[in-house]
Amino acid sequence: MARWGSRAHPAMQVPSPSVREAASMYGTAVAVFLVILVAALQGSAPAESPFPFHIPLDPEGTLELSWNVSYAQETVYFQLLVRELKAGILFGMSDRGELENADLVVLWTDGDSAYFGDAWSDQEGQVRLDPQQDYQLLRAQRTPGGLYLLFKRPFATCDPNDYLIEDGTVHLVYGLLEEPLRSLEAINTSGLHTGLQRVQLLKPNISQPALPADTRTMEIRAPDVLIPGQETTYWCYISELPAGFPRHHIVMYEPIITGGNEALVHHMEVFQCAAEFESVPHFSGPCDSKMKPERLNYCRHVLAAWALGAKAFYYPEETGLAFGGPGSSRFLRLEVHYHNPLMIKGRRDSSGIRLYYTATLRRFDAGIMELGLVYTPVMAIPPQETAFVLTGYCTDKCTQLALPPSGIHIFASQLHTHLTGRKVVTVLARDGREREIVNRDNHYSPHFQEIRMLKKVVSVHPGDVLITSCTYNTEDRRLATVGGFGILEEMCVNYVHYYPQTRLELCKSAVDPGFLQKYFHLVNRFNSEEVCTCRQASVPEQFASVPWNSFNREVLKALYGFAPISMHCNKSSAVRFQGEWDRQPLPEVESRLEEPTPHCPASQAQRPTGPTVLSIGGGQG
């Protein structure tokens, strides 16, 4: 009777022809509006626009997620639009986008009734109902455009099988159910059509500063590009500022996405080229094209960066990013990452970024500073590690020398590693005590590097220490992964956006090379192996000859946590501030920040203890 889809609008796919026939008995061609009020709305959704954030989940764009965050309730409100519903859908979150060990909400039908329940998948992908139902259905609504599911989830549930929604990247996952099920436990995610989408779910709750009256806009857009029919394309396009374009401040920028390409445009960045070149050749093509002029490699100064799910980026009221005027290049490089896993052909695109700028310069120029590790092979990760941590320091000595007495104010941050990076965090320490997190991503992905506004501006004073740690997974590597520029080498960097601009561009460290040589010597001594400890061998060669047993791994960790460091406290990548920067002591941190204990939802009584039955009834709208 209440068989799933049995009263469906014709636009909805239904499980079998016989059901489709039944559907025609009930269905009408006009806009049928089936409102399924499942439960009294508990609590009220935040005011304003109820769902300011949107993201397509699948490459076809048949699943669309909108959401909002209530920091007061520590709850995310989700609205999932399912354009083509078959027998149900799984949606949820997992550590790195896998469908195993995922925290799921499942909408399914057994043929008779439809259900909505909080579930999880174990390490084999077997789905089970949660004893504690933390996803709470607020409304289910059918429209001609598809089924809207409105539900909420607290950040933390204290159910050990649930995902903890944290700042930083969240890997959203989905799966499509094609057939009705006897029970939820009949689902194994390995048999489904599934996918993942990365997003920063907990967008900061920052009020947008008003734009100046003389704000003008400039669009840096792809020139009607034919998106290649391949999974990954980085498109490069050179444009230029008008001749004589004077110094301005960028105060805001926002994405422009060509309609219909929302699921294809993965991220975009606008770079300014190096000032030393009079001109840069015009180019529009894949960034890895052999035809690409070599000079484009010198267009690396970030002016704007956007990634999927991000909205407009506003500079704080008192600051702007300078561009134009003497001493800066007129040439801009737009880079668009097209992610086209279905290899759709023939799609054209003019996406880009719209810069909002003012001639009335704001009080402060914004600056970008690089924190973390120097790009050097002395910092290496042994192979077959699941969570090896490397740490780079910006020491008190350097901040003492290079920061103004009133300090600097970090308002945004972009984390960066290469392929094996899994987590990144920067912590501010003062007087030997960790004080606050500058930025942290416990589910960092090298494939999703956004500039993120900080929830709270972090002020750094002379004498403060900034500690950036990256966690790597090298399970798929046979040899050590050393630091460096190559894509198979590693980096650990946090580009922090701050004001007022200082001359300090780079505050990074690496282990003292002499101590690393002592390490190779002891490896040789303990392992009776032919580790080349001769100075003629390069550090990557030395690392490649280490036999990676537990002792050599542990001692390398101990070395990195103990040996003195070599500091790069630099005005530009090559010019150091004056002073002694080699064999510096590691900053001592006596007290660590405590992990905040997640608040479990207070009233457990309100939550349903089992799945919600969607009694599909309602009238015509």
Pick from 139, 142, 140, 109: which is nearest to 10 by CA? 142
Is 193 noted as a catalytic residue in this protein? Answer: no
Dihedral angle of Cα 497, 502, 504, 508, to the nearest 10 degrees? -30
| DSSP reduced 3-state for 296 | helix
Is 416 noted as a catalytic residue in this protein? Answer: yes
Distance CA 266, CA 235 (A): 11
Site for its own copies in 131-160 (CB under 8 A): 160
Q: How far is the CB of 474 from its own copies (least distance, A)?
A: 19
Binder to its own copies among 343, 554, 573, 613 (CB under 8 A)? Answer: 554
Q: Is 558 in the site for its own copies (CB under 8 A)?
A: yes
Q: How far is the CB of 547 from its own copies (least distance, A)?
A: 12
Our CB check for its own copies shows the closer of 404 and 561 to be 561
Helix-strand-coil percent breakdown of the chain, rounded to 5? 10, 40, 50
Burial class of residue 271, CB neighbours in 10 A (0-12, 13-18, 19+): buried
Our CB check for its own copies shows the closer of 44 and 550 to be 550
Q: Of the ranges 49-57, 216-224, 267-275, 554-562, which one interacts with its own copies (CB under 8 A)?
A: 554-562
Our CB check for its own copies shows the closer of 363 and 525 to be 525
Q: Is 164 in the site for its own copies (CB under 8 A)?
A: no
Binder to its own copies among 24, 42, 538, 549 (CB under 8 A)? Answer: 549
Q: Of the ranges 69-77, 259-267, 432-440, 557-565, which one interacts with its own copies (CB under 8 A)?
A: 557-565
Q: How far is the CB of 605 from its own copies (least distance, A)?
A: 8
How many residues touch its own copies under the rule CB under 8 A: the total is: 21
Distance between start and end Cα atoms, the chain: 22
Q: Of the ranges 136-144, 172-180, 242-250, 520-528, which one interacts with its own copies (CB under 8 A)?
A: 520-528
Our CB check for its own copies shows the closer of 430 and 553 to be 553
602 secondary structure, DSSP code: S
Q: Of the ranges 112-120, 315-323, 529-537, 550-558, which one interacts with its own copies (CB under 8 A)?
A: 550-558
Structure tokens belonging to residue 325: 């005027």
Q: How far is the CB of 215 from its own copies (least distance, A)?
A: 51
| Sign of the C-alpha dihedral computed for residues 130, 133, 136 and 142 taken in this order | positive
3-state secondary structure 26-88: HCCCCCCCEEECCCCCCCCCCCCCCCCEEEECCCCCCEEEEEEEECCCCEEEEEEEECCCCCE
Active-site hit among 234, 298, 447, 461: 234
Binder to its own copies among 363, 433, 518, 592 (CB under 8 A)? Answer: 518
Listing DSSP states for 463-501 in one string gives: T-EEEEEEEE--TT-SS-EEBSSSTTSB--EEEEEEES-
Binder to its own copies among 557, 571, 576, 583 (CB under 8 A)? Answer: 557
Q: Of the ranges 22-30, 207-215, 551-559, 613-621, which one interacts with its own copies (CB under 8 A)?
A: 551-559
Q: Is 547 in the site for its own copies (CB under 8 A)?
A: no
Binder to its own copies among 515, 577, 583, 593 (CB under 8 A)? Answer: 515
Q: Is 521 in the site for its own copies (CB under 8 A)?
A: yes
Beta-carbon count within 10 A of 290 CB: 6
3-state secondary structure 178-237: CCCCCCHHHCEHHHCEEEEEEEECCCCCCCCCCCCCCCEEEEEECCCEECCCCCEEEEEE
Distance CA 599, CA 51 (A): 24
Cβ-count burial 492-524 (b if 16+ within 10 Å, e if not): bbbbbbbbbbbebbbbbbbbbeebbbebbebbb
Q: How far is the CB of 443 from its own copies (least distance, A)?
A: 23
Our CB check for its own copies shows the closer of 40 and 602 to be 602
Binder to its own copies among 30, 436, 551, 573 (CB under 8 A)? Answer: 551
Our CB check for its own copies shows the closer of 144 and 608 to be 608
Q: Is 559 in the site for its own copies (CB under 8 A)?
A: yes
Our CB check for its own copies shows the closer of 298 and 526 to be 526
Our CB check for its own copies shows the closer of 413 and 552 to be 552
Q: How far is the CB of 569 from its own copies (least distance, A)?
A: 24
Distance CA 300, CA 275 (A): 11
Tell me how many helices (H) and strands (E) the chain has: 5, 38
Binder to its own copies among 206, 522, 532, 593 (CB under 8 A)? Answer: 522
Q: Is 128 in the site for its own copies (CB under 8 A)?
A: no
Long-range contacts of 184-188 (CB under 8 A, 24+ apart): 184/106, 184/108, 184/115, 184/117, 184/119, 184/127, 184/128, 184/129, 184/611, 185/126, 185/127, 185/128, 185/129, 187/90, 187/106, 187/108, 187/126, 187/127, 188/124, 188/125, 188/126, 188/127
Q: Is 592 in the site for its own copies (CB under 8 A)?
A: no
Residue 399: which H helix or E strand, with range?
helix 396-402
Q: Of the ranges 144-152, 188-196, 319-327, 543-551, which one interacts with its own copies (CB under 8 A)?
A: 543-551
Binder to its own copies among 604, 606, 615, 621 (CB under 8 A)? Answer: 604
Binder to its own copies among 193, 345, 525, 599 (CB under 8 A)? Answer: 525
Alpha helices in 237-288 (DSSP H): none
- Asked if 102 and 172 touch (Cβ cutoff 8 Å), the reply is no
Active-site hit among 339, 416, 447, 461: 416
Residue type, 282: H
Q: How far is the CB of 523 from its own copies (least distance, A)?
A: 10
Q: Is 561 in the site for its own copies (CB under 8 A)?
A: yes
Our CB check for its own copies shows the closer of 193 and 599 to be 599
Binder to its own copies among 205, 348, 488, 562 (CB under 8 A)? Answer: 562
| Sign of the C-alpha dihedral computed for residues 548, 550, 554 and 555 taken in this order | negative
Q: Is 345 in the site for its own copies (CB under 8 A)?
A: no
Q: How far is the CB of 46 from its own copies (least distance, A)?
A: 26
Our CB check for its own copies shows the closer of 436 and 554 to be 554
Distance CA 461, CA 314 (A): 24
Which residues contact its own copies (rule: CB under 8 A)?
A: 160, 515, 518, 521-522, 525-526, 549-551, 553-555, 557-559, 561-563, 597, 604
- Residues taking part in catalysis: 234, 416
